[in-house]
Amino acid sequence: MTSTTHPKLNSFIKTSPDSHFPIQNLPYGIFRTKSNPNPRVGVAIGDFVLDLAVLVDHGYFKEINLPEKNLFNQRYLNSFMATGKGVWRSVRERISQLLRADNPELRDNQEVLSNALLPIKSVELLMPVNIGDYTDFYSSKEHATNVGIMFRGKENALMPNWLHLPVAYNGRASSVVLSGEDIHRPWGQILPADSEKPIFAASRLMDFELEMGFFIGPGNQLGEPVDIEHAIDHIFGMVLVNDWSARDIQKWEYQPLGPFLGKSFGTSISPWVVPMEALEPFRTKGPVQEPDPLPYLQIKGDWAYNIQLEVLLQGDKMEEPFRICQSNYKYLYWNICQQLAHHTVNGTNLRSGDLLASGTISGPEKSYFGSMLELTWRGMSPIKFPNGEERKFLQDEDMVTIKGWCQGDKYKVGFGEVIGKILPPVDK
C-alpha cells in the first residue's frame, strides 16, 4: 500500500497547494451540525469534513475490526487516542485509501457522500479532546535566554538547570479553550514600578505566547516511567497553542513557585489534531545539545519538526491582520520525546487526552521572537503598524491569530489556525 504521506497522492476531493488539509494530512476533530447535533469524529480534507461515524454505519471500517463500534460517534477523541498506534495506523490507511482519486469505493457512492462529506463552513467545530491535565514546558533556548537577559542580565540569563532538563510547570486544564473563544483581561495583584506595595488591578501587560502542544494517546501506569525510545508511541498528534500571559501579574507572583494567575486564566488551542504520522516527512535536526543530556534523555535520530509558524495581530481599528512574527518548531532545544520521558521519569502517570505544550517558540532573529515581551523588549521598542498604531503589549479588542504548516512539494500539511481576542476585564 502507498504511504499515506506520499507527496504524489491525490484525492477525488480537490485541494489547492495552499490548503492546510490535503490527503497527506487527514487531521482529526470533533464537530456537529444543525441537522445532527450529536458530536462526532471528523477528518478534514480540503474544504470539507469527512464524517467517520457515517462511514462506520455504512460498513467502510469493517475490515479493520475497530475495538468498539461507536469509536467515532463520541464527544471527544480520547477513546480513539487511547487505542494506540496499531489502530491509528489502520484507520489512517483506510481513510487515505477511501479518499484517493483512483478508488471508486467512496468516490462513486453519492448516497453515502451526501451524508458523510460536509463543507467545513457548515459545521460547528468543538473542543476535540477532554483534557485531564495540562503541562507547559519552557523548551526554547532563545526564549529562555531573552527572558533571562531582561530580568537577570546576560551573565545569568539561563538558570543552572536549564541545559540539563526540560523545565515545565503544571498548568490549568479547565481554562484551555478552543480557537474562537475570546479571553477577558484578567485581574490580579500587580506591583507598580514606583511602589513597594502591590495593588489589585486588571493586567496592563497582556501577551500571547506562540506555542504548539501534543496530546497523549495511551498513558502509562503510576510508577512506571516511559523510556525515551518508546515516547513517540504515546503521542497521538499536535495542535497550535496560544498560552495567554499577564506579564505584570506573573512577574509579581512567580517566585518562588512559578506561574499561577498570570497564566491560568486562558490557553487557546486549534480544533484539528494533526497525527504524528502526517508529520513524519518533516522530521529534522534540532539544536545541538551541549552538554550532553543525562542518559535517560538521550535519543537517536532527528526529533525536531520543520513546522513554519506565524502570528498575526489585528486591532479593532485595523482593516486587516498584520504579521508581527514568524518562527519554526524546529528551534526548540528540548524535543517531544525528551519532554515526555522527563515528565514520567519520576513515575508520573500520563493519561489519554493530557496536553503537553512546548512553551514559547522563539528563533535566532528578532522577527522570530514568539511573544510581545520579546518583540518589544519589555515594551521599550513598540511594534509599529501600517495604520500608524503601535503596541507594547496587547490592547482590548486585539485579535491574535497563530498559523502553522509544514511545506511539502506543492502541498502543505497544516494545522489551520488558533484565534483569540482580548476583551476588557470583567467589572469588579
Structure letter (DSSP) for residue 394: B
DSSP collapsed to 3 states, 157-197: CCCCCCCCCCCEEECCHHHEEECCCCEECCEEEECCCCCCC
Q: Which of 20, 143, 234, 343 is catalytic?
A: 143
- As a residue count, the chain comes to 428
Dihedral, CA of residue 184, residue 190, residue 194 and residue 195, to nearest 10? 150
With beta carbons less than 8 A apart as the criterion, state whether 68 and 32 touch.
no
Active-site residue flag, 230: no
**Residue 274: CB atoms within 10 Å:** 30
Cα–Cα distance between 303 and 306 in angstroms, integer?
Answer: 10
**Can you tell me which residue has the cell 496587547?**
394
Cα–Cα distance between 245 and 171 in angstroms, integer?
Answer: 12
Q: Please, how many CA atoms are within 13 Å of residue 405, restricted to the half-sphere of its CB? A: 19
CA–chain centroid gap for 390, Å, is 28
Nearest in space to 235 (alpha carbons), one of 263, 216, 219, 209: 216
Q: How far is CA 296 from CA 225, 340, 341, 345, in A?
A: 10, 11, 7, 8
Cα–Cα distance between 350 and 219 in angstroms, integer?
Answer: 5
First to last CA, the chain: 61
At 411 the three-state DSSP class reads: coil
Nearest in space to 253 (alpha carbons), one of 154, 187, 168: 187
**Residue 196: CB atoms within 10 Å:** 6
Read off the C-alpha cell for 219: 498513558
Which are the catalytic amino acids? 143
